[in-house]
Chain A
Amino acid sequence: MQVISRVKLHSRNVLQEIWKNKVMFLMLLPIIVYFVVFHYLVMPGAYVAFVDFNIRNGIFGSKFVGLDNFQFLFKNGDLWNITKNTLLYNFVFLALGNVIQIVFAVMLAEISGKWFKKITQSVLLLPYFISMVIVGVFAYNMFNYDSGFVNTVLTSLGFERYEFYSNPDIWKYIIVAFKIWSATGYGMIVYLATITGISNELYEAAYMDGASKWQRIRHMTLPMLKPTFILLLLFGLGGILKGSFDLFYNLIGTNSVLYPQTDIIDTYVFRSLVGQFNFSMGAAVGFYQSIFGLVIVLVVNLIVRKIEPDSALF
């Protein structure tokens, strides 16, 4: 009895609260509706991974098949290959990307020429602004067999043309290079912001004590960048199973010759939707990606909270 009345009281409080703040709730309403429809309603849709999907019957009308879709993916080996590729690419993007961004941020901080600094900074950020479709154009422009710039140079130097679009091995490097190319400017500025935030007095004091430029970079600047580095690394690790679909699709497209080295989870799921209309298989991979990704975020966060409590995400 008491419990019931307390529940009643509580629910009345909620309603009262909503009524009292109705304007604020109304202002929040579009976002609530948006997230409920486009994120929360989609989540139970992951159930499509456990059925034999048929568009006419809808997700919940299709036949339940349990883990058959997952079993098939494990057996045919696709899952292993795309997981491996996704993890490796993202790991290289993260590690190499951040190191290069830090190096460039430190170097840019060392430069004193105002004009030089301004212009180069703008140019370095430029690749971040353009769409990956344009990046795809660039790749085509450089590597296509008949008229690509690299082959133009090779033939003019008397070498044989190289057939980039049928050699999977070289694309690992091309993809990584384009990723670094497009992301360095952005990341560099984040690190540069941290460096500019370091008090000048600290550097002057170190200079007085006889620390060389290199020592100051090594023992002052780099340690100060550590929290930013860890934070960005964490964000990155959380998304380590989410690929840069944009980049991969625009560079590789539907060139299946290159798949062994360049297929990632996102491109695989996309193909199962658009090319093969195999909704259930694609959804199974997507579900696996989401769960695996969530586990990675939680584990990484747990580890970080142990080592560096201040840097933990939650």
Chain B
Amino acid sequence: MADLSCKIAGINSLNPFWLASAPPTDKKYNVVRAFEAGWGGVVWKTLGIDPPVVNVSSRYGAHHDQNRRLLGINNIELISDRPLSVNLQEIRECRKEYPDHVIIGSMMAPIEERAWKDLAQQIAESDVHGIELNLGCPHGMCERGMGSAIGQVPEMVEQVTRWVKDAVDIPVFTKLTPNITNILWSAEAALKGGADAVSLINTVNSIISVDLDSMVPEPMVDGKGTHGGYCGSAVKPIALNMVAEIARTPETRDLHISGIGGITTWKDAVEFMALGSNAVQVCTAAMIYGFRVVDDLIDGMSQWMDDKGYTSVEQFTRAAVPQVANWNELNMNFDTKAVINPDNCIECGRCHIACEDTSHQAIAMNVKEDGHREFVVIDEECVGCNLCYHICPVPDCITMEPVKTDKPYMTWPEHPLNPMRQAAE
């Protein structure tokens, strides 16, 4: 079995799987269960200055598919609603009882130097491995000038990061909000403030659904609803892009990244790490299935590493980053065509109608003499868009085959049809 131990922001972890700061890490009871289940670390649910916040009922909304599988959740819960001293005492106990497991203290405070520094020091004294700055919460706390209200202003991100770095001598993770126009601005600000790592993404601002009987957004609080933070597998693509942007940009690439956002399976985790994450945080998958999902996260990643011959996670961390390019760097002369394997085709016709109605009319439907239908790609019309490949319900029935060509690698800046063309060197 491959070695899954990893190191992020100078912290050693048994494996790359931490529970993100959220309800699952709200108290010792849960954290103990998580460590027993195999999680390498936890980011304790965000701590604030007393008196504790008060939460509402209910708190979660859901985005289901038609089979009632959860694609995403949003929530309007605030930070920990338990007294700071209780949380810190339980953190101390957990650190003593599980010395090999990582505990990071998440925190937020109003935009005042003293508040950030005092709270950070109290948390550090509880023996946490590091501190994560919650600059992302998009509901409730931001209306009080915290969370994403800070995270959306790069100068404030830099400022609070610096305050905390000055106050404590343990690693600091700046947790970023996706509710911005360009993640690089906040990442650069965190870097300037001295962050050892960035954690991303926090939840995405959202209204997840509307109850059509009461005409109230979900989750409903006595006849009213509000925007909440969206999480779960549905937000994974947003998170992956932001992680990759930070990892591939020269100014920010040296930041360690704790990848968060819809990580549900070991494959998701590998993708996050291949695109720049040094470790990952999971929340929604655990909330849906319980802490036991870590078993397959560990086992799946380990099996995959064995299959690929990787002996440490560092060997594939950031392996996909060099292949992330700007559109302008793509080869305009590369061409693929869909190929339909008639032996695998079940004749559902979905490739035909999708292409016919919405793409390039490149899949013909021929009715044969025996009544069976044959779907044939018209190569001249096929632009290699991938739509049929993705909608086909049968794996490997449609493949995308590169067209053999002797044309050179040519980008748009070099392309003859580009009026702004630059001479190829």
* A complexed with B: no
Binding site for B on A (CB under 8 A): none
Binding site for A on B (CB under 8 A): none
